[in-house]
Amino acid sequence: MVTYTVHERYEASGTLAGRAQAVTFVKDGFAWAALVFPVLWLLYHRMWIVLAGFIVLFAVLRGLLSVAELNNEVLGWALAGVSILFAFQANDLRRWSLARRGFWLVGPVSGASRAACETRFFDAWLAAQGTQRSAELGQATPGAAHKSDAGDEVIGLFPDPGG
Q: What is the pLDDT of residue 142?
A: 44
Please tell me the pTM assigned to this model. Answer: 0.73
Q: Using CA atoms, how far apart are residues 57 and 93, in angstroms rounded to an integer?
A: 15
Structural contact between residues 88 and 30, judged by C-beta atoms closer than 8 angstroms: yes
Residue 81 CB coordination number (10 Å): 11
Q: Using CA atoms, how far apart are residues 115 and 134, in angstroms rounded to an integer?
A: 28
pLDDT per position as a tens digit, 67-101: 877 777 888 888 899 999 999 999 999 999 999 99
The domain locations on the chain are: 2-111
Q: What is the pLDDT of residue 87?
A: 97
Residue ranges in the chain modelled with pLDDT below 70: 12-13, 131-163
3-state secondary structure of 11: coil
